[in-house]
Homo-oligomer: A and B are copies of this chain.
């Protein structure tokens, strides 16, 4: 009998082609999880296990706590499943938690919110030990202007201007509750919380905030940019390696 398991997974996205499995490469997070679980449960390769993730992270994006769920026909306990997965997964993917979940639990449909963090670095020194997880800036951005713009980016809006998929057919309306910009030493960390995010949305919002911080866009331009629903009016897409999925709410 199949049981529904909830998993919490961390990964360093550097080497991967994103979360979603693809027919042309086995270097995806979902693909790695599925192939380990398919082997664990002894299923034939043409009828593999399907792991459902709370969202799809882009190539190069990291996660501290991606939540997933998977239906498994196994006698193993959650702890045994975790130990097996951590033994056979590569060292850049860790399963931090395995729990039995209610049958109706669905990691994507039941998610009520997500926290993403974008990490930046500015200074005379370099982030030697953290360089794969932060984007380094050439000049100091104006944080006050960025905070003003961030405030204007929150709310419930049609965020089409911050969507990286021009062919998106479904609704591009989302609610972003908060965008907090924190600094510590040479780090600038931007925390985004919302009920969901469009493709590349956090990276485009970050690129737009940096354009504000560099004086290329005025905070007061933000409402018109959102209103325009035109990706061309927003800032550039910030690089993937600064982004990390921190938490999924249920």
- The residue on B at minimum CB distance from A11 is B128
A21 at the interface (CB under 8 A from B): no
Q: For residue A139, which residues in chain B have a CB less than 8 angstroms away from its CB?
A: none
Nearest CB of chain B from residue A186's CB, rounded to whole Å: 10
- The residue on B at minimum CB distance from A79 is B124
Measured in the bound complex, the distance between the Cα atoms of B133 and A93 in whole Å is: 16
The 8 Å CB contact of A125, one of B92, B95, B125, is B95
Nearest CB of chain B from residue A189's CB, rounded to whole Å: 14
CB atoms of A10 and B129 under 8 A apart: yes
Given contacts A129-B133, A131-B91, contact A86 B10 (CB under 8 A): no
A228 at the interface (CB under 8 A from B): no
Measured in the bound complex, the distance between the Cα atoms of B129 and A96 in whole Å is: 13
Number of copies: 2
Q: Of residues 160 to 214 in A, which have CB atoms within 8 Å of B's CB atoms?
A: none
Q: Of residues 78 to 134 in A, which have CB atoms within 8 Å of B's CB atoms?
A: 79, 82-83, 86, 89, 91-96, 124-129, 131, 133
Q: For residue A12, which residues in chain B have a CB less than 8 angstroms away from its CB?
A: 128-129, 131
CB atoms of A10 and B82 under 8 A apart: no
Measured in the bound complex, the distance between the Cα atoms of B89 and A83 in whole Å is: 41
Nearest CB of chain B from residue A141's CB, rounded to whole Å: 19
A6 at the interface (CB under 8 A from B): no
A62 at the interface (CB under 8 A from B): yes
- The residue on B at minimum CB distance from A129 is B12
Measured in the bound complex, the distance between the Cα atoms of B91 and A10 in whole Å is: 25
The 8 Å CB contact of A124, one of B83, B91, B125, is B83
- The residue on B at minimum CB distance from A92 is B128
CB atoms of B131 and A92 under 8 A apart: yes
Measured in the bound complex, the distance between the Cα atoms of B64 and A128 in whole Å is: 9
Q: For residue A93, which residues in chain B have a CB less than 8 angstroms away from its CB?
A: 126, 128
The 8 Å CB contact of A126, one of B91, B126, B129, B131, is B91
Q: For residue A127, which residues in chain B have a CB less than 8 angstroms away from its CB?
A: 94
